[in-house]
Structure 1
């Protein structure tokens, strides 16, 4: 028979996120205790990915909380959780209100990086609206959870390598950079009780390879010296984002072929050496992206713990993205309220051709091969082109406009692709 302690360890962990008001000065531990007491006393079960609003009868919560969210559950796939069957993990945080800060190297007049203090108002909510196929977000969170646990218990990284490097690759516009920013923001919330501050450092990889390669080495050294200084504090959590990392590989390949000076090789090697040094830091995670899979240097791929392809969204993901955009227009009353069906129940209604959800299902099928970046522009373009004079419109009117703009955009992009193909053929 299992004892009570081993049974408790097997309880799934339910994550609860509490964002405090900007001016709140209450101690985080008091808020955590009050939230747990409120949930245990007044809730028997809660749905995942929902907002709790009936805490306002509790004075300390009403005066200090901006919003309270039931996020997800680790270790269980059920959408509704009974509170006596889970272990609550309550994350209390405050948002930084500042925009990203630019880091310039004045001597060479180049933008070397952008810095976010996390959690950031600018990035808040981004994680929740991102839609990907294949549970990519869950995979990233599970990776971070295991990485933290292995580091805490002192797993020898010489025996089990943990380079703390993630590589997301795939076509442009599929959300690789966005999910990296959102992931860093999410981790800063999940680790708010562990670290007093967190930062996202987004490196401009193109600036590292100026036409004066002898200066690039100095830029690399200076930048990573600053990152190492940040990571020296045990109270800080640092995420480093290197976007379009294939530019590093391209520089080295050009140098080896003789088209670029040998300084380029030394610069790239210096960067890889700096990344190797950062893996010794428990509080640093390196996130990288690439649009050109074939150009990524094998030396870099070998360093990545996760190599994840992110492609164009599937039919289901397209429907989720477009329905999320339409729900936002419903929220602000541009589109007259009409609930859209979730994908999992939509198949039961496909025979009902007049149902708006079925119409959106059909429109979504036309968008296969279109990136998430373009998909999110379509509702705006539909309104701007066909509904601009409308203060509000019905869901049927909006979907008709959306279908027209989808047909136009696909036709326009096919023409561009045809011109490009014929030009290449010449």
Structure 2
């Protein structure tokens, strides 16, 4: 059979969709019938640099493809172009990249998602490598106006690593705020202030998050706004360069911003103000200290400026601050959202370190590994033989950096992202071939030399490694004897604080089995059958109760492993401590 030839590209604008006699409108729920919750899958389609076609028509064609029978499933953050599972879709050749990037409005923990359960929203875009049109002299203080989405910020959003769902929540809330406020052809109305504040210690990624958010909004909102312009203003620089005139300059910036937003109603204007505390410092504190009045006038001008553009639905202002406690109360009150960006958690530290290693792999400074470094989720569920692998070593390093970085400073995302490069620059021999394992060891050595260490924790770690090596060197007959000895030798610290602890924390797996036996005895007594076996639901309940007790005695991240081991013991009698350590 001859292979099916790929059809030539067609201009979808020349066709109209005609309903066949068999087509019917979707069934509407009857009165009183519950409507199943449905979220939205957002798909981003990046076109090639030489594309000159109609983006709106391309978007309509892609949405038709994703709503057709040819696409049944999708994976988030997986490249669709070239994937075998989409071979019959015949995507246009003009596409550089095609990815599902987000699910909004519903939780789906499955790796593969059924598309029929969701609304499909496609945003097609082309990366810009040119400046925006000349701006007014008043806005020249903000530097060059950047046209978004920009090639300079391509991939910046994906490279940012934060805890919880800071990025997704930001995009959803900012998209809604812009949607509420943008009313083309109608009287302006400010439903919610399009002013947000990102605060946190230096180096946590506030500025990078702000510029990347602007880039993401330029893609997500491109069906409403044809263009997006980013203006960046450093408040400290403005105050120092125009001392005594800062209030006048601030007023002129917002005055011109308001005028341009009216002239360009279909252009989203994003103003990023870094170090806003320089312009929005508390006036009450300044008056009490008899400080320079220029700073007070600057704050007044800033607040007036925000009010000037509050009804302009295509103006969006992002502010960052390292000192949120010093900000004027009236400014904070005007912010629709105040988001604190914390220092990275253990999971975020691991992923930042992992990402920095792979950047050096891309630069061919580190040899590409045969086995990829695992994600944090994969690395935290390890077997005894895995403790010497680069993934586990990197995870121990991430936990080691919980308290202090170089010279006792707090560990910031910025410092973590540079750690691999700094460590290799200081310790790597010229022309040496560096593997991922070597890189992690050099990073660990650099941290030992330059960062504060807890000697008590380090001694405990060495004791653990000696015990683990003993466990691994035991023959099969000796292993149970070693395990029994270790059960009578309590460890210091709980496993969620000390990463080198066993996954059982301070709980004795033998005691867990005894508890399970007691629960089984009660169950059999209630059933008046000493040989009765628990149902799966009863076994799940017993396992959940014991696991909850384990969590209260220093449980670590291996919750599902512990739960399944208890379940195996309850249902099949398989020992809980059958593998020794995690």
TM-score interval, normalised by the smaller of the two chains: 0.7 to 0.9
- The whole-number CA distance in structure 1 between the counterparts of 2:73 and 2:429 is 44
Which of 162, 181, 204 is the aligned partner of 1:132? Answer: 162
- The whole-number CA distance in structure 1 between the counterparts of 2:259 and 2:449 is 52
1:200 aligns to what SS in structure 2?
strand
- The whole-number CA distance in structure 2 between the counterparts of 1:145 and 1:260 is 40
Match of 1:76 in 2: 106
* 1:325-379 deviation line (CA, Å, top 9, x unaligned): 2233445553332212222233320633112211111011122241000000011
Match of 2:421 in 1: 380
1:111-190 map, 5 Å? 111-151=141-181, 162-190=192-220
Which of 345, 350, 373 is the aligned partner of 1:340? Answer: 373
- The whole-number CA distance in structure 1 between the counterparts of 2:329 and 2:317 is 17
- The whole-number CA distance in structure 2 between the counterparts of 1:112 and 1:261 is 24
- The whole-number CA distance in structure 2 between the counterparts of 1:230 and 1:7 is 47
Larger RCO, structures 1/2 (Cα 8 Å, 6+ apart): 1
Of stretches 325-334 and 1-10 in structure 1, the one that deviates more from structure 2 is 1-10
Q: Does 1:32 align with 2:78?
A: no
Match of 2:72 in 1: 44
Match of 1:294 in 2: 325
Match of 1:85 in 2: 117
Unaligned stretches of 5+ in structure 1? 413-426
1:181-260 map, 5 Å? 181-210=211-240, 213-232=243-262, 233-250=264-281, 252=283, 256-257=287-288, 259-260=290-291
**Higher Cα Rg, which structure:** 2
- The whole-number CA distance in structure 1 between the counterparts of 2:160 and 2:378 is 21
Of stretches 33-42 and 187-196 in structure 1, the one that deviates more from structure 2 is 33-42
Contact kept in structure 2, 1:18 and 1:67, CA below 8 Å: yes
Greater strand proportion: 1
Of stretches 168-177 and 348-357 in structure 1, the one that deviates more from structure 2 is 348-357
Unaligned stretches of 5+ in structure 2? 1-26, 403-409, 454-582
Contact kept in structure 2, 1:168 and 1:176, CA below 8 Å: yes
Contact kept in structure 2, 1:237 and 1:284, CA below 8 Å: yes
- The whole-number CA distance in structure 2 between the counterparts of 1:336 and 1:35 is 35
The CA deviation at 1:411 is 4.8
Contact kept in structure 1, 2:188 and 2:313, CA below 8 Å: no
- The whole-number CA distance in structure 1 between the counterparts of 2:57 and 2:156 is 28
- The whole-number CA distance in structure 2 between the counterparts of 1:171 and 1:195 is 33
The CA deviation at 1:261 is 4.4
* 1:206-243 deviation line (CA, Å, top 9, x unaligned): 24324765422321122112211331122101111111
Q: Given the two structures, how large is their TM-score scaled by the length of structure 1?
A: 0.85
The CA deviation at 1:34 is 3.3
The CA deviation at 1:182 is 0.5
1:12-31 map, 5 Å? 12-31=39-58
- The whole-number CA distance in structure 1 between the counterparts of 2:379 and 2:141 is 48
1:276-315 map, 5 Å? 276-315=307-346
Contact kept in structure 2, 1:51 and 1:69, CA below 8 Å: yes
Q: Given the two structures, how large is their TM-score scaled by the length of structure 2?
A: 0.63
Contact kept in structure 1, 2:269 and 2:314, CA below 8 Å: yes
- The whole-number CA distance in structure 1 between the counterparts of 2:36 and 2:187 is 20
2:153 aligns to what SS in structure 1?
coil
Match of 2:434 in 1: 393
Match of 1:422 in 2: none
Match of 1:353 in 2: 387
Match of 2:81 in 1: 53
Of stretches 231-240 and 71-80 in structure 1, the one that deviates more from structure 2 is 71-80
Give the direction of change, closer, same or farther, for the CA distance of 1:80–1:277 in structure 2 (3 Å limit).
farther
Q: Does 1:362 align with 2:396?
A: yes
Aligned residues: 406
1:133 aligns to what SS in structure 2?
coil
Which of 249, 252, 271 is the aligned partner of 2:302? Answer: 271
* 1:65-117 deviation line (CA, Å, top 9, x unaligned): 121121011112224321212111100111111479998979xxx95445211
